[in-house]
Amino acid sequence: MMNDTPSNRAGYPILRARRLRHNPILRNLARETALTVDDFILPLFVRPGRGVKREIPSMPGNYQLSVDRLVDEVGSAVELGLRAFVLFGIPDRKDASGSSAWDDDGIVQQALRALRETFRDGVLLITDECFCEYTDHGHCGVLSDHGGGKLDVDNDATLPNLARQCVSHAKAGADVVAPSGMLDGMVRAIRDGLDEAGFSRMPILSYAAKYASGFYGPFRDAAESPPQFGDRSSYQMDPGNSDEALREVALDLAEGADMVMVKPALAYLDVVRRVKERFEVPVAAYNVSGEFAMVKAAATKGWIDERRVALEILTCIKRAGADVTIVAIGWMVKKALAAAERLAAENISAEVVDPRTLAPLDVTTIVNSVKKTGRVVLVDQAPRQSSAAAVIAGEIAEHAVGSLHALRMVTALDTPIPYSEPLENYVVPNEEKIVDAVKLVLANEAVAA
């Protein structure tokens, strides 16, 4: 028998966790959680009009869109590999009950028909089912006096309207309905309504654990839906509760929910994990507007690397147990995900480098580090950073050897675009063009060799 001496015990120095971290290819093999474009649902906001693309001030890079521009936006997203979308409507009229929500010619219904005609079955269309955007008081249903002049959402009076809204959306072409009002019995009312209307195969994604959160502020700008009095704490959950979330999820599943959601995501990853472990059903998490806005604001100040932080957050949401994430990520993050996935499918390892991250650093150090991995380096030359990216791309190319290349993802611009000009006026290459450019460089190198 071996003596139980320190040198014979399991652990350091026999076991070294860092062995799996030194080689980047091995790190990828050992990675437990990886993102793909199939993990995401993109939220989109549709409003009346034509040719409308109105940026949401508190959600840079996201827009209120008229139906025609919505079709264009979905088309651009589809080119990047995104296939799932959740629609929020901003109606041309509001009233006390939110009746335009179930109008068969309502704004979401128009959007559904246009998207279905254009993309057929090539996209998954999810509709948010609530009334806060449609009521003149901004609450999520019909109001009634609960005594002493105190107005609150009348739960049972709202349920038939919710069922009507879902049936109208199903008729217009929705693939999934997603009730978000946190009303008691909402899933049962919707399931009964859909089944009676002949939509028994229509899935329900229930916002089963939706918290009364301070993270929703920018969304209420986007959907033009702030409550005109009070708040929504009488129907949305207390942020201090997680056992209650499990009860809410259990109730919705018993009523017929096919998928459940936790909202918000980032501050509620413990709830995502508990729901996934307890129920073993598909779980969605909503990376909400306030979470998005915090990252954007910090990146604008130069305090964080926006892409790295955004991808880290999304990875952690998935790691916690979310099967899908609703996320208003910026287009360059979408391009990075799509391009990296396309390249990986062809056994080309690539990383995307942001010049705002590189600029303050020693380029030679970065080059030497990347050279060891044999990766392609895509210098993300967003138009606003064109000068910085040109310098960095040149320095990397000067030091590059072997399979290391610097490619400038650029439009033909000699000077940066002023921040006062909208980026939508300029075309940034999509991931297909990036992939083609990488493959061309590698092919030319092979011929030269």
Residues annotated catalytic, as ranges: 210, 263
Instruction: Please give the C-alpha separations between residue 31 and each of 26, 75, 107, 145, 336, in angstroms, as whole numbers.
Output: 8, 32, 43, 55, 18
Instruction: Return the exposure string of 156-178: e unless at least 16 CB atoms fall within 10 Å of the residue's CB, then b.
Output: eebbebbbbbbbbbbebbbbbbb
246 CB-near residues (< 8 Å, 6+ apart)? 274, 275, 278
The residue type of 37 is V
Contact 202, 170 (CB under 8 A): yes
Cβ atoms < 10 Å from Cβ of 269: 19
Instruction: Please give the C-alpha separations between residue 339 and each of 84, 328, 360, in angstroms, as whole numbers.
Output: 18, 18, 26
Q: At what angle do helices 363-371 and 386-399 cross, to 10 degrees?
A: 50
Instruction: Please give the C-alpha separations between residue 174 and each of 44, 180, 230, 323, in angstroms, as whole numbers.
Output: 14, 16, 32, 21
In angstroms, rounded to a whole number, what is the distance separating the alpha carbons of residues 318 and 283? 10
Beta bridge partners of 312: none
155 CB-near residues (< 8 Å, 6+ apart)? 141, 183, 184, 185, 235
Beta bridge partners of 151: 145
In angstroms, rounded to a whole number, what is the distance separating the alpha carbons of residues 19 and 164? 58
User: How far separated are the first and last CA of the chain, in Å rounded?
Assistant: 59
Radius of gyration of the chain from its Cα atoms, rounded to whole angstroms? 25
In angstroms, rounded to a whole number, what is the distance separating the alpha carbons of residues 8 and 335? 50
In angstroms, rounded to a whole number, what is the distance separating the alpha carbons of residues 212 and 285? 15
